[in-house]
Structure 1
Amino acid sequence: MSLTGHEDDVHFKATFEQVEGSRSKGVITLTIDTPNWEKVNGIELWKHKEGDKITWTVEKVTMDETLAVEQSLLGVYPITPTKQEVYSSIAWCAKHDGCTSLPQCDPDQEKRKRKLLRTRKLYEYTQRSPGIPCQVRKVPDNHTLHYLSAAIQQKLLEHNSAIWNKHCRPWKTAKDVAHIYGCVFQQPSDITRWEDDVKFGLQRFAGTNNTMIRLCTELPEKLQVTPKMLKPFLGKYTLDKALKKRRLFVVDHAILERCPTVLNTTVCSPIALFYRDKRDRIVPIAIQLFQEKAEDNPVFLPSDDKYTWIIAKMWFNNADACVHQAITHLGYTHIVMEGFEVAVYRNLSKSHPMFKLMAPHFMYLMTINNLALDLLLGPGKYFDTVVSVGTKGAYELIKRYRTKWRLNVDGTLPADLKERGVDSPEIVPNYPFRDDALLTYNAILQYVTDYVHLYYPSDDMLNGDYEIQCWRAELDRPIEQGGLGIMGVEGVDGRFTSRDQLIQVVTSIIYTCSVGHAAANFKQYDEYAFPMNYPSLLRGRPPSDKKRRTESDVIEIIQDRANHYQLMTITKILSDHSYGNPLGDFDENFITDPKALNLVKEFRAKLDEVSETINESNEIRETRYDYLEPSKISNSINI
């Protein structure tokens, strides 16, 4: 196979030679047609036509000593390797410094601008549904990894075959439900959360929706509770004292009020009050299933009949699950981060150091989002089958939350914890998500800080970077004016004025694409696999009175066996860690600058320390929380 190319007036040709005894390795030999090395800024290698049938990787380009010594250009010119097939539309560029330069330092700024203008045409914004965050209008060919789609489709077929080979008879008892596990679906870690108030409370801090609970400093007026009603559940404290001692917490899902749902289903908009008891366990003490006070909207209490209280908790968890799926997972990891990725490709050259820093954390994102739109959110697909709000309700919730979500608060872990009043272990002693996520957040923050300081020795250097400033301006520019319309982006008048602002934005992006997504995603099967633990859909109507219920009433409201098998299928696939490398071990090595590579090594070493700390914590935790150990966090949103 031969390759030809040019760099302005400097032409070269290449030949592909087979390594003896190997069918998978080769050597590219470059013969330069002109000795005018001063004009050579880089080398592009392309695969065309028959070359598409060959799978290969490029590891490095080495200049020959006899050609380069007079110009003092002798050296190895790194080239980004890839484990996937190199498609014909991808050009791999090798420069003297590993393709890393700020635009104002690039020796050929005009050519760089021309390339970026061509790239910008490939990455245009669109909103898949009115009011939701921006995504890419069309996924460029070089992002479409068909193997990923094929792998997921195959798993769906395998699991669906197992489902339909079973006789999907109606549920009879709770024990009957517990017998659904076997060779295809393993039993989750705990199938008793639905019965246990302590485990129900812990779901707010170690489940899949860990960023909703907040410190309660005053009771919501719409919650019709009284001091007398709550007194039996507050131990030695009065209601006022419990509030002052910061022992009360609240989850308010007002965002669900009058949300669309799939046919013949209801979703509540509940308010739940939690109390930290003398053993530092945070447990539910009151649940009101709808927002407005009314006789047919009672407050349910732990002192109610056993199954009446259980059913109230299940309807609350159903609402929480809808918020988790639509907002926490789909809307404000997958979709919102795709917009940031599009902005990066539109505004930053692939030679830009910040492109190289962020690119590994966007790998496969456009692909998996495009796949999700088809497999999960299409008419009659999984969202419309197993989630109460369905596709229409999911898009409505994402739209509602876009007016509330701020990058520097909701998208920034320390600020979010502080804003919710749950940042201190003195207030919430047992918060596995917070404690583990902060360790990795801080490691990412240090990594980004060191990297930014490497390429921007001063704020003035940042101020002169017109690519990064164009990127910054596009982030909070209104959608109607061609931007992302993101609120809470650090900076002044659409510009970064300090390196700290850039560090905060990039840290939040990398955190959300890695840790944030891992927290929302990888525990899904464990939470959803037992239908009473965390029901994504309930049948019938929520209770409007406090009369006595039975186990049969519980069985009647969970979704049928066939639908639950579908839910287990998709959550099992989504909880799979097999796609992509763990955090810090990048699928593609965009970073090639030796000084920056040292920072990557330091980052990996810090992540190893975090892993040790988390593993030690899990040895003494009453309930293990393994989902944010760095080796189990992907670099990007790849599933």
Structure 2
Amino acid sequence: MGKRQSKTANDLNAKYTIVVRTGDAYADSNTDADVTVMLIGQDGSATQWKKLDNFLVDDFEKGQVNTFYIIAKDVGLPIILRIKLKKAGANDEWLCNNIIVKYEGKEVEFPIYDWIEDQDEVVAGKATLPQNITNPYLKSQRRQEIERHQSRFRWCPRVAKGEMGWGMPRSINGTKYNELPKIFRQSESMTRNRKDARTAAKLNALVQKFYGVFSPIDEISDYHRLYEKIDRETSLKVPDDWDTDEGMGRSTLNGVSQIAFFRCQDNLPSGFDVTNDDISKLLSNGATLQEEMQAGKIYVSDGSKYLTGVPRNSTADGFQIECANSICMFYVNSDNKFVPIAIQLVPGDRDYLFTAADSKEDWMLAKMYYKCTETNIHQWVYHFLYTHGIMEPVAIAVFRDLPRCHPIYKLLRPHLKNVVSINTDGRQTLLPEGGPVNNAIAIPALGLGAKVFETFKFEDLIIPKVIKKYGVGDAEVLPGFYYRDDAIQLWKIMEKYVANVVNYYYHCDKDIQEDDELQYWTNDIAMEGFAWQDSNTRGMPTSLETREQLIEICTTVMFTSSAQHAAVNFGQFDAYKFIPSMPAGMRLPPHKKGEATMKRILDSLPGQELSIVYVVFSFILSTYSEKEVFIGNYPEKLFTEEAVQNIQESYKSDLDAFTEGIKQRNENLEFPYNYLLPERIPNYIAI
């Protein structure tokens, strides 16, 4: 046999095709830096650093796809990709969506969807569990990535009582938007649309302030003019029956405070002094209060449990903004309409107890005080705390504790990326005491938020359990509760999607228990996100034992960040633009029975200045971005496996069928409920 010929240097090299996609979400997504890459193979062998450059082509521009051909050491199909920038300027970062490497008829994708600031290292696209990794180089890369992320995404420092953040879920380490990791930045279109909305809103405020000098509010209908300059085709017309019992009941049942009431079957809340004699004439067919309670027709909204002991805001000139500790009784009458029949504005004092049988003025003003209570609880509990506040520590932990190749990172990231930056803006502009928005609402945000968070449990976000706990799940007993009907269906659709993804990667409960990255993630949320000040994990488990637990947590996070936020947020302009129907504060303390007149009503409603601020605020919060990504759509292809992409397609099909069902139902409704239409639900907390 002849001698085996040794390989030449050229034989040890290989041709690689590298396809690079630059992001397009920001004006500065591009880079002028020199971009070099290193490919690492299964055995740890690595190529030299190779510059990616096409002669006389301006590569890496916003939204661009560039293809490069390199000759490099043959390391096979790479499993790790290193990227390094030699910057042209101090802020010359690069938003890279993904990189595909082709080698000998095969290819591998590296999904990145992140800013490259100096140097980064990513693994091939397939999602994997840490315990299934046998390659020592992949294990090492995974540990190093988490270490980098925990340095990059840090919890805020601990605060003292009275400081911003005291008594609340923990937030990111950054007080200003530009201090945040760039991955948390909102897209260019989102930022532009918010600015446009603010400009229109400010113009409206200026016009109305000027107009108000010459045209004060003399009657309730004058409040219509406060929103007419910024009203739009997509917003609902203020119903003509807004001041009737049926109109108010409908706004509570299917407005923006969806589960603000519970079924009352035995004892009324403490301080709610309603007797059968007070309301017997309002009940159907001579029934008693106790009989109707047992029949499931009596519901109570108790604002006193939230607002008692919470201070009120004051106007710039020192006048306290009023908000009663209202308790309201609703009744499903013989026409199956959900209507208020009794309201107590001062618990324990019957002088402040009103029923629908009282004078028109007494009852109208009592309903306004109750709706003010509902407005404040909606804004700072159901909207701010239960979506924005609770989801921020969940988001931080996802980015801190899970590598990009972890399936739960890929599953939850699309729903959590924006909340940190939105909350950071809010802590500067909306929440501080003395700020124009906070001081246009009777109750201070952080005061109420801290009180409710003290007793908050994670299961308060699990909507099917909340509906069961509150006794509002029976459509025959409580008809026309469209939020409930849509939310339960949508929850099931999301739960099916989450379960399919989780079960694809976790084949048994043991897989959950052995995933140390997952265990660290849930512990970080519980201990550092929720229990950081008082050691109370608020029902968030510090470890996970079963797939069922993980599915429930992920479904809750996904639903809260998308559907629930849409339901409590995007209807705000519809709900709040006509101030008398849902005032955010009142000028006078609650009236006693017999004291209300039309003059007293007008004197009690918020003045023009406070009203304008709240109309502007609700308009901005209800604004969609022109390039919003709605549920079921995944422009960032984080999952590269065909099987999981098929699961996503099935999820989208389920949402399409659900959409058609809602539209068909709404065709027969005088007042359609649209807030949980998938085409109106962004994937994330959008504003």
The alpha-carbon distance between structure 1 residues 47 and 58, as it changes in their structure 2 partners (threshold 3 A), is farther
Counterpart code for 2:223: V
Q: Name 1:284's counterpart in structure 2.
A: 340
Q: Name 2:197's counterpart in structure 1.
A: 155
8 Å CA contact retained: 1:443, 1:603: yes
Q: Name 2:322's counterpart in structure 1.
A: 266
1:173-212 to structure 2, matched below 5 A, reads 173-186=219-232, 188-192=236-240, 194-212=242-260
Distance 2:585 2:86 in 1: 50
The alpha-carbon distance between structure 1 residues 149 and 486, as it changes in their structure 2 partners (threshold 3 A), is farther
Q: Write out per-residue CA displacement over residues 511-542 of structure 1, whole angstroms, 9 at most, x where no aligned residue.
A: 00001101110100000000111111211111
Is 1:120 aligned with 2:150? yes
Q: Name 2:467's counterpart in structure 1.
A: 417
Q: Name 1:358's counterpart in structure 2.
A: 412
Distance 1:150 1:497 in 2: 44
Distance 2:86 2:476 in 1: 62
The alpha-carbon distance between structure 1 residues 379 and 48, as it changes in their structure 2 partners (threshold 3 A), is farther
8 Å CA contact retained: 1:580, 1:587: no
Distance 1:110 1:21 in 2: 35
Counterpart code for 1:373: R
Is 1:88 aligned with 2:123? no
After superposing the two structures, state which structure 1 stretch, 194-203 or 158-167, moved more.
158-167
The alpha-carbon distance between structure 1 residues 43 and 217, as it changes in their structure 2 partners (threshold 3 A), is same
Distance 1:60 1:426 in 2: 54
Offset of 1:193 from its aligned partner? 5.1
Offset of 1:371 from its aligned partner? 1.1
8 Å CA contact retained: 1:268, 1:319: yes
Distance 1:404 1:90 in 2: 44
Offset of 1:367 from its aligned partner? 1.0
Is 1:433 aligned with 2:505? no
The alpha-carbon distance between structure 1 residues 131 and 179, as it changes in their structure 2 partners (threshold 3 A), is closer
Counterpart code for 2:212: C
1:424-463 to structure 2, matched below 5 A, reads 424-463=474-513
8 Å CA contact retained: 2:632, 2:648: yes
Q: Write out per-residue CA displacement over residues 551-585 of structure 1, whole angstroms, 9 at most, x where no aligned residue.
A: 33222222222332222222112111226211111
The alpha-carbon distance between structure 1 residues 431 and 61, as it changes in their structure 2 partners (threshold 3 A), is same
Is 1:133 aligned with 2:180? no
Is 1:329 aligned with 2:383? yes
Q: TM-score, structure 1 length as denominator?
A: 0.90
Counterpart code for 2:332: R
* 2:256 alignment partner, SS class: coil
Offset of 1:226 from its aligned partner? 1.5
Counterpart code for 2:520: C
Q: Name 2:177's counterpart in structure 1.
A: none
Counterpart code for 1:546: K
Offset of 1:350 from its aligned partner? 1.2
8 Å CA contact retained: 1:149, 1:371: no
8 Å CA contact retained: 1:48, 1:88: no
The alpha-carbon distance between structure 1 residues 145 and 622, as it changes in their structure 2 partners (threshold 3 A), is closer
Distance 2:414 2:102 in 1: 27
Q: Name 2:452's counterpart in structure 1.
A: 401
Give structure 1 stretches of 5+ with no counterpart.
Answer: none
Distance 2:552 2:475 in 1: 24
Offset of 1:370 from its aligned partner? 0.9
Distance 1:113 1:80 in 2: 17
Offset of 1:150 from its aligned partner? 5.6
Q: Name 1:104's counterpart in structure 2.
A: 131
Counterpart code for 2:566: A
Offset of 1:46 from its aligned partner? 4.9
The alpha-carbon distance between structure 1 residues 185 and 481, as it changes in their structure 2 partners (threshold 3 A), is closer
After superposing the two structures, state which structure 1 stretch, 414-423 or 251-260, moved more.
251-260
8 Å CA contact retained: 2:95, 2:113: no
8 Å CA contact retained: 2:153, 2:400: yes
The alpha-carbon distance between structure 1 residues 47 and 584, as it changes in their structure 2 partners (threshold 3 A), is farther
Give structure 2 stretches of 5+ with no counterpart.
Answer: 1-32, 175-179, 315-319
The alpha-carbon distance between structure 1 residues 342 and 25, as it changes in their structure 2 partners (threshold 3 A), is closer
User: How many aligned residue pairs are there?
Assistant: 616
Q: Write out per-residue CA displacement over residues 55-92 of structure 1, whole angstroms, 9 at most, x where no aligned residue.
A: 87545413132xxx6xxxx224253458xxx5636858
Q: Name 1:589's counterpart in structure 2.
A: 637
Offset of 1:168 from its aligned partner? 2.1
Distance 2:119 2:302 in 1: 48
Q: Name 1:168's counterpart in structure 2.
A: 212
Q: Name 2:282's counterpart in structure 1.
A: 233
After superposing the two structures, state which structure 1 stretch, 478-487 or 464-473, moved more.
478-487
Distance 2:617 2:633 in 1: 27
After superposing the two structures, state which structure 1 stretch, 315-324 or 126-135, moved more.
126-135
Q: Name 1:576's counterpart in structure 2.
A: 623
Offset of 1:282 from its aligned partner? 1.3
1:372-383 to structure 2, matched below 5 A, reads 372-383=426-437
The alpha-carbon distance between structure 1 residues 195 and 602, as it changes in their structure 2 partners (threshold 3 A), is same
Counterpart code for 1:368: I
8 Å CA contact retained: 1:227, 1:238: yes
Identical amino acids, percent of aligned pairs: 23
8 Å CA contact retained: 1:476, 1:483: no
Distance 1:448 1:195 in 2: 43
Offset of 1:243 from its aligned partner? 1.4
The alpha-carbon distance between structure 1 residues 345 and 483, as it changes in their structure 2 partners (threshold 3 A), is farther
Counterpart code for 2:127: T
Offset of 1:436 from its aligned partner? 1.1
Distance 1:481 1:287 in 2: 39
8 Å CA contact retained: 2:82, 2:120: yes
Offset of 1:272 from its aligned partner? 0.9
Q: Write out per-residue CA displacement over residues 383-406 of structure 1, whole angstroms, 9 at most, x where no aligned residue.
A: 3332111xxx22121111113322
Distance 2:342 2:359 in 1: 14
* 1:304 alignment partner, SS class: coil
Is 1:626 aligned with 2:674? yes
Of 552, 557, 565, 2:599 maps to: 552
8 Å CA contact retained: 1:19, 1:27: no
Counterpart code for 1:13: K
The alpha-carbon distance between structure 1 residues 418 and 376, as it changes in their structure 2 partners (threshold 3 A), is same
Q: Name 2:183's counterpart in structure 1.
A: 142
Distance 2:508 2:666 in 1: 42
Q: Name 2:395's counterpart in structure 1.
A: 341
Q: Name 1:12's counterpart in structure 2.
A: 49
Counterpart code for 2:327: I
Counterpart code for 2:132: C
Offset of 1:269 from its aligned partner? 1.1
1:495-534 to structure 2, matched below 5 A, reads 495-534=543-582
The alpha-carbon distance between structure 1 residues 305 and 503, as it changes in their structure 2 partners (threshold 3 A), is same
Offset of 1:30 from its aligned partner? 5.4
After superposing the two structures, state which structure 1 stretch, 172-181 or 209-218, moved more.
172-181
Distance 2:92 2:619 in 1: 34
**Structure of higher CA gyration radius:** 2
